[in-house]
Structure 1
Amino acid sequence: MSKGFASEAELEELLVTPSAGLIRDLSQGAGDLVILGAGGKMGPTLAVLARKAFDAAGRSGDTVYAVSRFADQSVREGLTAAGVKVVPFDLIESESLASLPDAPNVVFMVGAKFGAATSPSWAWEVNAALPDRIARRYRSSSIVALSTGNIYPFVSPATGGASERVAPAPIGEYAQSCLGRERVFEFAAQERGTSVAIVRLNYAVDLRYGVLADIVSAVHAGEPVSIETANVNVIWQGYANEVVLRSLTHASSDIFTINLTGPETLSVESIARRMGELLEHDVTIVGEPQPTALLNDSSKCMSLFGYPSVSAETLIQWQAQWIEAGLPMTAKPTKWATRDGKF
């Protein structure tokens, strides 16, 4: 079994270590970077990764700004210690965005998913209305906007997943509002010439949360694993963060769009049974597999940025070791198997 991690600090260190490809791409750019929504699950490691990559790329004079409400003081302290400039700011409640730092490079990571079914107006405010304000504030910048594979229809595993050429068919308020986010940034590109890259992500894994964490937690607890949604895509969060940052070099007014996920279509039952082997636990499988799932084709991503350095099998092994060692979890299920779009 692949060597896992002894602590959260070891995991964080790997997540924020830039690859040669990222350093090379960022060495071609210039100017400060503003990360909006940097206090979420991916934001802190992305911000530190950017800082380290900037330094390695000869851009020590460029500032990495992390913008968020930052309810967790320890996140603020960790970012500051890593050389990231922390900007506490409530993007929703603030009447004006004028005081946000100017920068030629922007990553927009703000999103509302859980609770979208019960408070759809909130989802639309965060996912679609706020992006319009951001697009106007940073009209002359290159913007990478995080989106989701949920904007696609469910497809058969035999298709290899929905490619960027597949027409969106979002199910539920969350996915619909995320398509709204994309349309708003597209408008900025078409009408104002803003350089935009749209990154459709599903599903990132960093061991403290994610699809694999959900499955292995069930196996570890002796709970049944449903295979109604029989297949899934996952991607190592370290790779996902790199693709987000490298997409800055592809942003254009022609709108660069890319699916960000793993190269494999994984079997949920196979994942669960492999977890059972690693943990030496019995596995109970329930449910009748449906013929479709939310699956994305990442061929374009792989051709541009290369394959992830961490394979799906290694992620599965790491996840089993992480749970067995009792290392920290976020306790935030992904609800990846949801089929009705209600999050």
Structure 2
Amino acid sequence: MTDYPEKISDDKQLEELLSKPTAETIEMFKRLDGDIIFLGIAGKIGPSLANMAKRACDEAGVKKRIIGVSRFRSPEEKKHIEEMGIETLQGDLLDRNFLESLPRVKNVFFLAGMKFGSEDNLSLTWAMNSYLPALIGEHFKESRIVAYSTGCVYPLVSVESGGSKETDMPVPVGEYAQSCLGRERMFEYGSKKNNTPVALIRLNYAVEPRYGVLVDIATKVKNNEPVDLAMGYFNVIWQGDANDVVLRSLDHTKSPARVINLSGQEILSVQNVVQDFGILFGVKPKMVGEEANTALLSNSNQAYELFGKPQLPIDKLIKWVAYWLEEDRKTLGKPTHFEVRDGKY
């Protein structure tokens, strides 16, 4: 078991923890052939994921070209990626000329997508989440592709079910979730047509002290705002553990595409987590509404069989989030909308 600190003191320590490769990841990079490209690197997950790959290569003693592609919202964002030792290419992936200029490297991670505000621009949501994957699948047909998807393609299920499995039929609610299933179908189509090895990662939810379901709940408790209990249960996984699994998924790409659920072992109760944060903040939390008998839950047993169970305990993660917010450190300001039950994000 990794020796984790009691609290995370600053962004530097957080990035160190998020991007620390496991021995298994380092071993994989020792034998991995080809260079690596991260498409949509500048989001919430991309920087630490790519940094973990770079650190794993360094510790494995191998040299690879590692490329990060994004529109980059600011020069600082681009500089931050480059300071990790990652080459950057700036452009819009929906621009066919730019896309076709990208080097056809062997290992591709697809992180681009649209979620926040998706209801306000549905045509762009479908373009990013369904049309673009078809283009990517064709351009990188000779590569291995690991693509992020979401557990939102599943229906709400009972807590007693233990969560949706990869063999369950997707029933996406709302256009965001439908477009995400479209993403999967386009990668599946390319995988079958071109015999491209693909892994589709149905993630929900990755968490760290600046972002995620735990931050959403903790912020409301700290600010003495009521927490709605309607979506009464959820899964989360430490983003460092998720990064490890995503990188190692290169070893498990297949044609036809393979689906991998990725989340934490425990089904967490919103009410219990609210009470935990109340104790940590020394306040009496406010809760409204009643727990529904269904929630968006994933069963990730297949991932545990392939990669082992997540290393970071949930109680440690809850304490990290509380310490971070108690010290008024920076968050990303992007709510997950995990409580949404009608698919309108």
Q: TM-score, normalised by structure 1?
A: 0.97
Q: CA deviation at 1:102?
A: 2.2
Deviations 1:134-190 (A, max 9, x none): 111000000001000000011001111001011000000000000000000101111
Where structure 2 has 5 or more consecutive residues not aligned to the other structure, the ranges are: none
Matched residue, 2:86: 84
Are the equivalent residues in 1 in contact too, given 2:92–2:98 (CA < 8 A)?
Answer: no
Matched, 1:35 2:38: yes
1: CA distance, partners of 2:88 / 2:134? 23
Q: CA deviation at 1:209?
A: 0.7
Are the equivalent residues in 2 in contact too, given 1:131–1:181 (CA < 8 A)?
Answer: yes
2: CA distance, partners of 1:116 / 1:244? 25
Q: 1:224 to 1:2 in 2, by over 3 A?
A: farther
Q: CA deviation at 1:191?
A: 1.1
For the residue of structure 1 that corresponds to 2:265, the secondary structure is coil
Deviations 1:29-79 (A, max 9, x none): 11100000001000011111111111222322x111000011132222122
Letter of the 2:207 counterpart: V
2: CA distance, partners of 1:116 / 1:132? 19
Q: 1:56 aligns with which of 48, 55, 59?
A: 59
Q: 2:302 aligns with which of 297, 300, 304?
A: 300
Matched residue, 1:340: 342
Q: 2:11 aligns with which of 8, 12, 35?
A: 8
Matched residue, 1:284: 286
Letter of the 1:174 counterpart: Y
Matched residue, 1:325: 327
Are the equivalent residues in 2 in contact too, given 1:117–1:172 (CA < 8 A)?
Answer: no
- What percent identity do the matched residue pairs reach? 43
Q: TM-score, normalised by structure 2?
A: 0.97
Moved over 6 A (4+): none
2: CA distance, partners of 1:59 / 1:79? 20
Are the equivalent residues in 2 in contact too, given 1:36–1:107 (CA < 8 A)?
Answer: yes
For the residue of structure 1 that corresponds to 2:79, the secondary structure is helix
Letter of the 2:247 counterpart: L
How many residue pairs get aligned? The number is 342
Letter of the 1:106 counterpart: V
1:216-235 equivalent positions in 2, closer than 5 A: 216-235=218-237
2: CA distance, partners of 1:24 / 1:308? 18
Letter of the 2:164 counterpart: A
Q: Structure 1 residues 96-105 or 177-186, which shifts more? A: 96-105
1: CA distance, partners of 2:306 / 2:190? 25
Matched residue, 1:137: 139
Letter of the 1:287 counterpart: G
Are the equivalent residues in 1 in contact too, given 2:91–2:98 (CA < 8 A)?
Answer: no
Q: Structure 1 residues 77-86 or 87-96, which shifts more? A: 87-96
Letter of the 2:306 counterpart: L
Q: 1:249 aligns with which of 212, 231, 251?
A: 251
Q: CA deviation at 1:25?
A: 2.1
Q: CA deviation at 1:2?
A: 6.3
1:108-257 equivalent positions in 2, closer than 5 A: 108-257=110-259
Q: Structure 1 residues 252-261 or 328-337, which shifts more? A: 252-261
Letter of the 1:100 counterpart: L
Are the equivalent residues in 2 in contact too, given 1:2–1:317 (CA < 8 A)?
Answer: no
Q: Structure 1 residues 64-73 or 171-180, which shifts more? A: 64-73
For the residue of structure 2 that corresponds to 1:106, the secondary structure is strand
2: CA distance, partners of 1:15 / 1:2? 13
Q: CA deviation at 1:26?
A: 2.2
For the residue of structure 1 that corresponds to 2:278, the secondary structure is helix
Matched residue, 1:263: 265
Letter of the 2:210 counterpart: R
Deviations 1:203-257 (A, max 9, x none): 1111101000000000000011111111000010011111111101111213221
1: CA distance, partners of 2:168 / 2:79? 42
Q: 1:159 to 1:2 in 2, by over 3 A?
A: farther
Where structure 1 has 5 or more consecutive residues not aligned to the other structure, the ranges are: none
Are the equivalent residues in 2 in contact too, given 1:197–1:251 (CA < 8 A)?
Answer: yes
Letter of the 1:20 counterpart: A
Q: CA deviation at 1:94?
A: 4.3
